[in-house]
Amino acid sequence: MNRRSGIDSKSNILNAALKIFSEYGYRGASMRMIAHNAKISVGGLYIHFKNKEELCLTLMKKRLGDLSQELKKALEGVKNPVEAITLFITINLEYAKRHKELILTQSKERGFTFGLGLKRSFFKKQRTLIEEILKKGIDSGDFSECDVKETTKIIMGTLRGFVLSMVVDAYNLFTPEECSKLILYGLLRRNDKPANEKTNEFKGRS
């Protein structure tokens, strides 16, 4: 019997779980599939994780934490709200591209309440971040007056759509730039330049 260290096994299992969960969803993935993919026995899984739920939760926690930190770090020094929004969108989309798998797993399942708390607190953090950017942008005159909370919800929704479209249909790989442009400028032709042109790195749409 080839005996491995517990640590190796644990990370093997996590890698396998990620692969299987993202291919078959939470319900579609079986512990046997994960075990087989991790080259361990079914029983072995239960040495490292209490059960299927905990295994999936561990994966989600890690990923959401990573993204949270990445966002926070990136936005730390940024003063210009237009740039901040763009960065926010870009990082989210790129993270999504890198980790398609778990996003699918999450959006695919339901009736599994166990990820809920995690996700709620993550989205709340994201909302707060955007709200602050918006407020700054309105104060500085870059953004037009709007209901901050409402607009934040809409931006989050929009972003979720971008992410899901990308993840669901691989061919839907629109660039972060295009997404930012739509959110910032909208569809309509504008005859003016953005209010704060010097700080704006994007070409206007007219």
Binding flag, residue 186, a second copy (CB under 8 A): yes
Quick check: 23 binds DNA (CB under 7 A)? Answer: no
63 binds DNA (CB under 7 A): no
Query: Between residue 97 and residue 156, which ones bind DNA under the rule CB under 7 A?
Result: none
Residues 6+ apart with CB under 8 A from 56: 17, 21, 26, 105, 114, 115
d(CA 59, CA 105): 11
By CB under 7 A, tell whether 11 contacts DNA: no
Binding flag, residue 23, a second copy (CB under 8 A): yes
Per the rule left: phi > 0, alpha: psi between -120 and 50, beta: everything else, 190 is: beta
The CA distance from 143 to 59, in Å, is 37
Q: Decide which of DNA, a second copy, none touches 46; Cβ closer than 5 to 8 Å per partner kind.
A: DNA
Residue 47, H or E segment? helix 42-48
Residues in 62-121 at the binding interface with a second copy, rule: CB under 8 A: 82, 85, 104, 107-111
Q: Which structure tokens are listed for 21?
A: 């969960």
Structure tokens at 51: 């059960």
Residue 33 contacts DNA per CB under 7 A: yes
> For residue 17, which amino acid is it?
A
- Please give the C-alpha separations between residue 185 and each of 36, 69, 76, 202, in angstroms, as whole numbers: 50, 28, 24, 10
**Of positions 18, 29, 155, 184, contacts DNA by CB under 7 A:** 29
Residue 85: CB atoms within 10 A of its CB come to 22
Give the whole-angstrom CA distance, residue 51 versus residue 112: 14
128-167 residues near a second copy, rule: CB under 8 A: 134, 137, 141-146, 150-151, 153-166
**Single residue of 11, 41, 69, 206 touching DNA by CB under 7 A:** 41
128 binds, among a second copy, DNA, none (CB under 5 to 8 A by kind): none
Name the binder of 48 from DNA, a second copy, none, CB < 5-8 A by kind: DNA
Contacts to DNA by CB under 7 A: 1-9, 29-33, 39-48, 51-53
Binding site for a second copy (CB under 8 A): 23-25, 27-28, 82, 85, 104, 107-111, 134, 137, 141-146, 150-151, 153-166, 168, 172, 174, 178-179, 182-192, 194-195, 205-206
